[in-house]
Structure 1
C-alpha cells in the first residue's frame, strides 16, 4: 500500500508536470479553431448549468439538504474528471485536434461550475458580502492552475507561430507520454485512501445524473443547436460522460459538507464509468473464434448496420444454408505424419498470399467503423492477403490508395451510366488497383426486409427508433462524430446529378443495368484492360462462358444469400463448377465462411482461393483495424491446425481425400 506522502507526490507530478506538458504540446500542435470556442462553451455549459440547478432542487426539496450540502451534490452531478481521465483520454482518441476543446472545458469547469458551487456554499455558510473576494480568489486560482495555463501558453504559441526548440518538444513529449498512465494510477491510489462506507444509497441519483443525463443533455445541445467540428462534439460528449472529479471531494472536505458521502459518490461513479470498457477489454482478451467478434460487433454498432451485414433476402433460407451446409461435410483425420515446416502460403491472381484468402467487397463498411475500408485494407496488407474495395464504400478509391502501399482489388457493379463506369475504372487504374471484380448478380436487387424496415442509409436517417438505438452505441457515435467520411465516397460528387447524400437514393434506384448480358460484360472487361474477376457465378454454363470471355478468375457466390433466396448454397454448387472449368481459370469461393475449417473444406473441394465478407466485417465493427487482424489470425490458426490434423503440411496439396462428402451433397434433381 502506498503511503499518503507517496500518493501526494504522484498527484503533484501529474498535476504540475505531466498533464500540463500533455496539454501544452498538443495545443501547440492543434489546428487553431478559436472561432468555435464560444459555441462549445454554450453547448456544454447551458445544459450543465440547467442540470446543476435541477440537482440542487432535488437535493433541497426531495432529500432535504441545506443549501451548502445541496450545492456539493449538484456539483457532483455536472463536474467531470476532465483532468486526470479526460485530457489523456480525448487526446489519445482524437489527437491534437482535441486539445483546444479539452482545455476550454477544463477552464470552464473551474470558472463556471466550481465557482457557482463555491458561491452558493459561501452564501449559505459565510458572509454574503465576502462573495466579491471569493470570485477574486477563483480568478487567481484559474490563473495559477498549471493545466489551464499550459493550454493558454500552447494556444498562444500556436497562434503566434513561435517555434519551440526540438529538445524542449522531445522533453515535453516524454512528460506527456507519462500523463495517461500516471494520472490513472494516481486516481486509483487517491480513491483507495478515501472512505466509501457512507451514503451509497444517497449518491445513486447523483451517479445517474452524472453518467447518463449529463452527457445526454450535452449531446442534444452540441449536435442539435451548434455547428461544431465533429471532433469537438465528440470531446464535449465524452467529457460530460466521465465520472465525478476528485475536486468535488476536496471542496466537501474543505467545508466539512458530508465528505464521506461525496467520496462514496466519486468512487461509484468512477467504478460504473469503467465497467463497460473493462468488460469489453476482458472479452477482447479471450477472442478465439469469429463468433466472439460477432458478439462484440452486435453490441457496438447500431442495429441498422448490424442488420445490413447479418441479413439475407426474403426468408433468408439461402443465407442460413450457406453456413449450415458446411456442417454436412466431415474431415478425415490422419496421424503419425511429420507436421513440421507447415505452410499456408499460396497465390491469388499471381500475387503471393500468406493464405489463399481475400477480403470480399462489402458496401457501407465505413459506417460499421469510421474509415472502415481504410482500416480493413491496412489490416489485409499487413497480414498478406488481398483486399477488395466496394464501389459503394464510404471511403473512396483515392482515400484507400493514399493510406496503403500495396495494390488492392476494386469491385464494380454493372451500371447503366457508361460514362461513370469509364471514369470509375480510370480512377481505379490511377490508384494502381491490380484487378477489378465485376459483380454480375445485382442487375436486379433482391429484397432484404430488415434493410427496408430500418430505413438503411449513409449517414443514417434519424427517426425516433433509430435515435433511441444510436443513443445506446456511445463508442460508435463518438467515433463517427470524429469521422470525415459518412457517405458513398466513390459516388457522391462523381456520378452525374449526385452532389450529396439526399440525391443518392434516386440515383441508386436507376443505377443498375437491367439489360446486362455477356456482351456488356465483355465491354467492361475491355474497358478495364487488366486482370478481371467475375463474381456471382452459380451455374456451370455461366462458368464456362466466363472462361470463353477470358476472365482471369470467377467467384462462386450467391452474394451471401442477399440476392436470390431459395438458391442453392455456394458450397453445394462449387463441385459442379470445378468439374466444368477444371484448371482453365482460377475459381474462388464466397458465401457462408465463418471459420478456417470452412476455408479448408472449400479449398479441398477444388477452390483456388476463398473470399470472406461477414467474418472481417464482424472484426472491423468490433475493434477496427485490430479486429480485422484478429479475424484473419483466427481463420489462419484454424486453417493451419485443421490442415495438420488432416495430415497435410502444404495448403496447396489438400484435396477431396481429406473430406467425407455425402453422396447426395450436390443434390439429386429432376433437371
Structure 2
C-alpha cells in the first residue's frame, strides 16, 4: 500500500485490514493470532468495553497535554512501541522503520531480542529513544552479552519479559504451516504469489533471521538458529534470583514485562525494578487468563507509586489509552497495531497508527473535560475498579 494511501486510513482497524490485504495469510495470522482458542486475545479487548468513561462538562482546556514520563523518559504521548520479533516479516524496513516512526512521534521504540536487524543496526538508524527487551536465557553469558551490547549502543532501558517459560501453542501458525523463516509449501505458495509487493520486499531485503545471534555457531541455517533461540530463551526454572542478578548487571532503568498480579508486581519492585508492564503477551502465551486491563488496578494498587506501571495488551483506540491512564497506568504499550502499520506501509504505516491514537486520545480528553493525561483518575470511570481513587 502506498504511503499516501496509508496516511488516509482513519482507524487502527482500517490499518489492520490494509495489512491483511497486503500480507500472505500465514504472515498476517502470525501477527494477528494468539494461543489456542484465543480467549486471552479477546479478553484484552473485551476488558476495555466493560469500562465506561464518565466525563465532566464545562471544565476542559483549549489544548490538551498528552505528554508523560515513564522510567525517567519523557514522551510526547503515553503510547510506547512494545517489543515484537522478526518485524521484517511485516515489511522490509522492519525494526528500522518502527524505530524511526517512534522517534517522529516522540515516543520509545522497544527492540525485541528476536529482532531481524541487530541491536547495533537499530541503534544507528534510530534518532529517538530506544529500549531493549530480553528474556532470562538459560545461559547467563548470553544475557550478559546482550546487556553489554545494549549498553554500548545507547539503549536507555531494559525490558525483561518473564511470561515465556515455554512458548505458547499458536494454532493459527500450525494450521498455516508457518515456519521461521517462511518456507513455501503447496498450501501457502499461491497465497504468497498473490502478494507481489510483500514478496518483492521479502526477497529484496537481507535474509530473515534472528540477527542478534547469527554468530553463535549453532548451525549455519536460519532454521537451526531459530530452533536454538526458541529452546534457549525459554526456561521453566527461571526465578526471582535471576531478576536480582540482572538488576546487578544493569544499573539503568529496568522494567519487568508480563506481570498480572499485585503480589508479583510488589516483589519485582522490592527487587529494584523501575517499571512494571502489565501484560499477558498479547494473548500469545497462556490462553484463558485475565485480560491485561482487568489486571491493571490490582497491580497499580500493589505498586503504590513506587514504580511506573504500563499497560500492554488490547489497546486499539485513544479511549482505551484514557481508560488505562484513569486506572493508574503512566502509559500504554502497543504491539500488533504498529506491526499492522508496518504490514500496510512500512514505517509510514507505523507512524500513521501512532498519529491515529494521538488524535483519538486528544479528542477523548476534550470530550472528557480534561486538560491533559495527568488529569485522568478513577473518578473518570463509571465502573468501580480497585481500591485507589
Superposition TM-score, scaled by structure 2 size = 0.95
2 CA distance for matches of 1:646 and 1:498?
A: 56
Pairing 1:465-614 to 2, within 5 Å after superposition: 465-493=187-215, 495-511=216-232, 512-614=234-336
1:509 Cα offset (Å) = 4.2
Structure 2 runs not aligned, ≥5 long? none
Partner of 2:109: 387
Over residues 370-408 of structure 1, what are the superposed CA-to-partner deviations in whole Å (9 max), with x where a residue is unaligned?
A: 121000000101110000000111111111011123341
1:496 Cα offset (Å) = 4.5
1 CA distance for matches of 2:193 and 2:335?
A: 27
Looking at both structures, which has the greater relative contact order when contacts are Cα pairs under 8 Å and sequence separation is at least 6?
2
**8 Å CA contact 2:88, 2:202 repeated in 1:** no
1 CA distance for matches of 2:230 and 2:116?
A: 18
**8 Å CA contact 1:304, 1:451 repeated in 2:** yes
User: For residues 373 and 523 of structure 1, do their structure 2 counterparts lie closer, same or farther at Cα, with a shift above 3 Å needed?
Assistant: same
**8 Å CA contact 1:458, 1:488 repeated in 2:** no
**3-state SS in 2 of match to 1:465:** coil
2 CA distance for matches of 1:380 and 1:281?
A: 17
**8 Å CA contact 1:492, 1:500 repeated in 2:** no
Partner of 2:355: 633
Over residues 195-237 of structure 1, what are the superposed CA-to-partner deviations in whole Å (9 max), with x where a residue is unaligned?
A: xxxxxxxxxxxxxxxxxxxxxxxxxxxxxxxxxxxxxxxxxxx
Does 1:624 find its partner at 2:312? Answer: no
Poorly superposed stretches of 4+, deviation over 3 Å: 280-286
Does 1:359 find its partner at 2:81? Answer: yes
Pairing 1:338-357 to 2, within 5 Å after superposition: 338-357=60-79
Q: State which of 301, 310, 313 in structure 1 corresponds to 2:23.
A: 301
1 CA distance for matches of 2:270 and 2:55?
A: 39
1:458 Cα offset (Å) = 3.4
1:564 Cα offset (Å) = 1.1
User: For residues 397 and 285 of structure 1, do their structure 2 counterparts lie closer, same or farther at Cα, with a shift above 3 Å needed?
Assistant: closer
User: For residues 484 and 630 of structure 1, do their structure 2 counterparts lie closer, same or farther at Cα, with a shift above 3 Å needed?
Assistant: same
**8 Å CA contact 2:36, 2:170 repeated in 1:** yes
User: For residues 552 and 498 of structure 1, do their structure 2 counterparts lie closer, same or farther at Cα, with a shift above 3 Å needed?
Assistant: farther
1 CA distance for matches of 2:285 and 2:358?
A: 29
Partner of 2:160: 438
The CA RMSD over aligned residues, in Å, is 1.7
Count of matched residue positions in the alignment of Structure 1 and Structure 2: 385
Partner of 2:55: 333
1:282 Cα offset (Å) = 8.4
Structure 1 or 2: more helix by fraction: 1
Q: State which of 266, 287, 291 in structure 1 corresponds to 2:13.
A: 291
Superposition TM-score, scaled by structure 1 size = 0.56
Over residues 536-595 of structure 1, what are the superposed CA-to-partner deviations in whole Å (9 max), with x where a residue is unaligned?
A: 001111001011100010100011111111111011111111111110111110001111
Over residues 217-274 of structure 1, what are the superposed CA-to-partner deviations in whole Å (9 max), with x where a residue is unaligned?
A: xxxxxxxxxxxxxxxxxxxxxxxxxxxxxxxxxxxxxxxxxxxxxxxxxxxxxxxxxx
